[in-house]
Amino acid sequence: MASNFLRLRKPYYVESTINCSSSSDQKLVNLSFGIDETRNQTKKRQAKEHHGRRSCLDSCCWVTGYLCTTWWLLLFLYHCCLPFTVVHEVPELMPAARLKREGLTGIHPVVLVPGIVTGGLELWEGKPCADGLFRKRLWGGGGFTQLLKRPLCWLEHLSLHNETGLDPPGIRVRPVPGLFGADYSAPGYFVWDVLVKNLAKIGYEGKNLHMAAYDWRLSFQNTEVRDRALSRLKSKIELMYRANGNKKVVVVPHSMGVAYFLHFLKWVETPPPMGGGGGLGWCAEHIKAIVNIGPSFLGVPKAVSNILSAEGKDVAYFRAMAPGVLDSGTLGLRALEHVMRVSRTWDSVVSLMPKGGETIWGNMDWSPEDEHVCDFSKKRYFRLSPSDNNVNKSNAKQVFRVKDPVKYGRIISFGKAASVLHSSQLPTAVLKEILHMSASRNFTSSCGEAWTEYDEMSRESIQKIGAADKAYTATTLFDLLRFVAPKMMNRTEAHFSHGIADNLDDPKYNHYKFWSNPLEMKLPDAPNMEIYCSYGVGIPTERSYVYKLSPSNKCKRIPYQIDTSVDGEDRSCLKSGVYFADGDESVPVLSAGFMCAKGWKGRTRFNPSGINTYVREYQSKPLTSGIKSTAHVDIMGNIALIEDILRVAAGATGEEIGGNKIYSDILRMSERINLRL
């Protein structure tokens, strides 16, 4: 009843004001006084009469109320029942609980190094449009809500300066320090949290657990220049070493953090102006082991497609499913262009480009993964029965050999033909021709404000690159990128190098741009250190792409896109324009495992002191739930991996946890790579 009455209150007043305009003032007075008097009266009448028609509004309210009530009820029940459901999961989720019963306690301090994208960023100084966001997250955590609220403002603040690769004027975005920096990437999407929980179970806490948060958008040396991130990390490691009774630290980098920490290893031992001045032997003194998770030592092909057209497998699929949505300019969204504009200012993306050129990634007609079997389901199957492993494998190979081997070496091909034809049938030197052509012509941009560097290229040269049946290998790829994005490559090639060193004693290799490339640096002199490569296998991972010219050839458009119409036959590695190889969904096995499997194995020129390396692979099982997943980020919740890390942190050596554990073909692939060691 009361509710009905409430509903009626508003019409009273509205009515009265309207009436007053037509009738006398006297009436208004009466009306307003009369309301109280008539309240009882109306109530009675209402009781009699109000069961009239439900208006649309009423029904709406009713439905909403109904839904809300149900929702709350369910929520309430959920919270009541939660304790019971959790109890069942806990023992499984917590390998630490079991290990603790075995008597394991944390001995070595642990340093976590997050990868690209997973670290949080917060605002310290911004443009007026970002008012009120001071020290609020822009990236990670709840930060993505800002993306929805003010997308352009958000993009502007996440961009870096086009030329310096540092802050744009008037904007300071900084990494979130501490464990909060990267424990969850988005609410509910854990990154480090499970691992941290498990470490805490065996006795870790703030004083012996550190998250080396850094701004993952910057090039590695710039994190030191701007934020002193490397100095801080050094000081933190020294402090933890001292404060925990001179116990060496165990470092756990993930994804790009692997390359970042390689950079740190060199930086810390290099004398001051460029390096940290820790002196030779710093690593030997302070570091027990580096447990690389999902390491992208030799880069990822994904980075190439990201730079070229701001898309990956997922975006390409999406485009195929809903053609036109991403490309339509009607909404003024043009999401991909914006993404490309922003991500091209991030130097760190370039650190993920494939390193080692054709020697590692294969050339036009050859690649280390030549014998790769693409039927992942089948592969999993025969893995389960090791006894007839060989038989199955040879079968698979036979089936496979009937077809042409996939030419993984061609990381980018324009047109499907270019990706399968023999190299002799492909035109050569297109790029040089175009370069020559465009250099001779004084080209002025017709696109007004340039968004991406594509706008500064002449339409003809864009067309020409796309039209020719041309394939690019890991080496020639850089020529292509230098052509389509000269400024970006200029900026970033001062910070990263992607080649292979001929002579590591060459003094030029003292420059910091070589420090994050394992093929152009020597590991520090630390014979007692251990390096682990822990990564997931068994998930199809992007390895090379088939491109086409995008249909709309206008300004402010990305002229190339993955050709999603290209599909191989059944059980082929080609799907929607992407060739897949084995890996953890982001990093191919080759990139993750090669250094540990061969490049650094034993005493090589890259590893002069003979640091022990171990390859630990984690096999993806069909229908994996969270705790057994081996995908690039989800692997951080993999119980087998966590157990390994805990054991290493508690003092076990690589031999004690079982040495190498290999499911993929990494050893055979590595064999095929002809690299002088």
Q: Could you give the residue numbers annotated as active site?
A: 255, 584, 632
Residue of 73, 75, 81, 239 interacting with another protein (CB under 8 A): 239
Q: Give yes or no for residue 168 binding another protein (CB under 8 A).
A: no
In degrees, rounded to 5, the angle at the alpha carbon of residue 650 between the alpha carbons of residues 649 and 655 is 85
Distances (CA, A) of 27 to 36, 37, 79, 457: 15, 15, 56, 76
Contacts of another protein in 494-553 (CB under 8 A): none
Least separation in angstroms between residue 88's CB and another protein is 13
Closest CB to another protein among residues 106, 357: 106
Answer yes or no: are the C-beta atoms of 375 and 571 closer than 8 Å.
yes
- Site stretch for another protein (CB under 8 A), options 45-53, 280-288, 425-433, 599-607: 45-53
Q: How far is the CB of 149 from another protein (least distance, A)?
A: 8
Q: Which is nearer to another protein, 267 or 663 (CB)?
A: 267
Residues 124-163 that bind another protein (CB under 8 A): 124-125, 131-132, 134-135, 149
Given 27, 459, 464, 621, the residue binding another protein (CB under 8 A): 27
Give 365's DSSP letter.
S
Q: By CB under 8 A, tell whether 231 contacts another protein.
A: yes
Q: Binding segment for another protein among 34-42, 285-293, 404-412, 620-628 (CB under 8 A)?
A: 34-42
Q: Does 10 bind another protein (CB under 8 A)?
A: yes
Identify which of residues 199 and 673 has a Cβ nearer to another protein in the complex. 199
Q: Which of residues 331-360 bind another protein (CB under 8 A)?
A: none
In the complex, what is the shortest distance from the CB of residue 528 to another protein, in angstroms, rounded to a whole number?
Answer: 25
- What residues numbered 250-269 form the site for another protein, per CB under 8 A? none
DSSP class of residue 596 equals I
Half-sphere exposure (Cβ direction) of 512: Cα atoms closer than 13 Å: 26
For the bound state, the minimum distance from the C-beta of residue 330 to another protein, rounded and expressed in Å, comes to 24
β-bridge pairing 121-125 and 137-139: antiparallel
Taking the complex as a whole, the smallest distance from the CB of residue 215 to another protein amounts, in Å, to 10
Q: Is position 205 an interface residue for another protein (rule: CB under 8 A)?
A: yes
**Nearest Cα residue to 214 out of 265, 160, 256, 250:** 256
C-alpha–C-alpha distance, residues 193 and 185, integer Å: 10
Select 222 or 413, whichever has its Cβ closest to another protein.
222
Please provide residue 90's backbone torsions phi and psi, each rounded to the nearest 5 degrees: -55, -50
What phi and psi, each to the nearest 5 degrees, are found at residue 348?
-65, -25
The answer to whether residue 572 forms part of the interface with another protein (CB under 8 A) is no
Task: Choose, by CB under 8 A, the member of 206, 273, 332, 386 that binds another protein.
Answer: 206
Give 20 or 667: the residue with its C-beta nearer to another protein.
20
Applying CB under 8 A, among 177, 405, 610, 651 the residue interacting with another protein is: 177
Q: Which is nearer to another protein, 1 or 623 (CB)?
A: 1
**Are 540 and 281 a contacting pair, CB within 8 Å?**
no
For position 68 contacting another protein by CB under 8 A, the verdict is: yes
**In angstroms, rounded to a whole number, what is the distance separating the alpha carbons of residues 233 and 154?**
29
Q: Name residue 632's amino acid.
A: H
Site for another protein in 70-129 (CB under 8 A): 83, 86, 124-125
Q: Compute the least distance from the CB of residue 564 to another protein, in Å.
A: 37
Measured CA to CA, the distance from residue 287 to residue 275 in angstroms comes to: 18
Q: How far apart are CA 310 and CA 173, in angstroms?
A: 23
CB of 213 to another protein, least distance (A): 9
- The DSSP symbol for 77 reads H
Given candidates 47, 69, 89, 436, which one binds another protein under the rule CB under 8 A? 69
Numbers of helices and strands, H then E, in the chain? 26, 17
According to the binding rule CB under 8 A, does residue 378 interact with another protein? no
Is there binding between residue 53 and another protein (CB under 8 A)?
A: yes
- Which CA distances in Å does 167 have to 129, 152, 160? 17, 17, 5
Within 10 A of 618 (CB to CB), how many other CB atoms are there?
Answer: 24
By C-alpha distance, which of 336, 300, 314 is closest to 559?
336
Lookup: tokens for 395: 């079968």
Which member of 180, 317, 366, 443 binds another protein (CB under 8 A)? Answer: 180
Binding region for another protein (CB under 8 A) out of 23-31, 300-308, 499-507, 642-650: 23-31
Number of residues binding to another protein, judged by CB under 8 A: 79
Which distant-in-sequence residues (6+ apart) come within 8 Å of 624 by Cβ? 630
In the bound state with another protein, the residue whose beta carbon lies nearer, of 198 and 367, is 198
b/e 347-382 (16+ beta carbons within 10 angstroms → b): bbbbbbbbbbbbbbbbbbebbbbbbbbbebeebeeb
49 binds another protein (CB under 8 A): yes
CB 353 within 8 Å of CB 304: yes
